[in-house]
Amino acid sequence: MNILGAVLAGGQSTRFGSDKALALLDGTALLDHALASLQPHCATLVVVGHPHAAVPTIPDLPVSGLGPLGGIAGALAYAADLGFDAVLTTACDTPELPAALVATLIAEAPAYAAEAPTVALWPVHLAMPLLTHLLGNGPRAIRHWADAIGARSIMPGMALTNINTPGDLATLTREPPSRRA
């Protein structure tokens, strides 16, 4: 399967207070941690909704400000145009992806992590249905759209690192990397 890896990074970082994609964890930007977590599983990487990245950046669709679904729509359209089979998404505030989770997402696609729905595998044939949903002013929650298309929620209870506040980052920075989930 030819998979595009996409980091969703178009959020406002309101709880964080500054651009969390560029916040440092162990000396590396959270955005770069997220890209590294996708690298082993994807042929190509992109960042959606953030202009500063070491890989190509693409916009949310149909417009910015629609939340993660706009980022997923942008990634799916880009992947479809370039002939990819699917998009593996994660958020810039999720610095690590367990290999077992990714393997299950690939096997169950379309599927998303029950505890972090931005972590998901979306087949590219969903590009137009998602764009239609967003243009129709439907609910913007990933879980709502995922349920509507029959995507599977997988691995409930699996904790994923998610950094929403400076306190979350400070706590994680004090933990040794081997203890992070």
Average pLDDT estimate for 8-29: 85
| Count of domains for the chain | 1
In this prediction, what percent of the chain has a pLDDT beyond 90? 76
The confidence score (pLDDT) of residue 176 equals: 56
What's the CA gap between 66 and 68, in Å, rounded? 7
Q: What is the pTM of this model?
A: 0.93
| Helix or strand (DSSP H, E) at 3 | strand 3-8
Range of the domain at 116: 3-179
Report the 10 Å Cβ neighbour count for 149: 13
* CATH number of the domain enclosing 40: 3.90.550.10
Q: Where are the beta strands (DSSP E) in 9-103?
A: 24-25, 28-29, 44-48, 57-58, 86-91
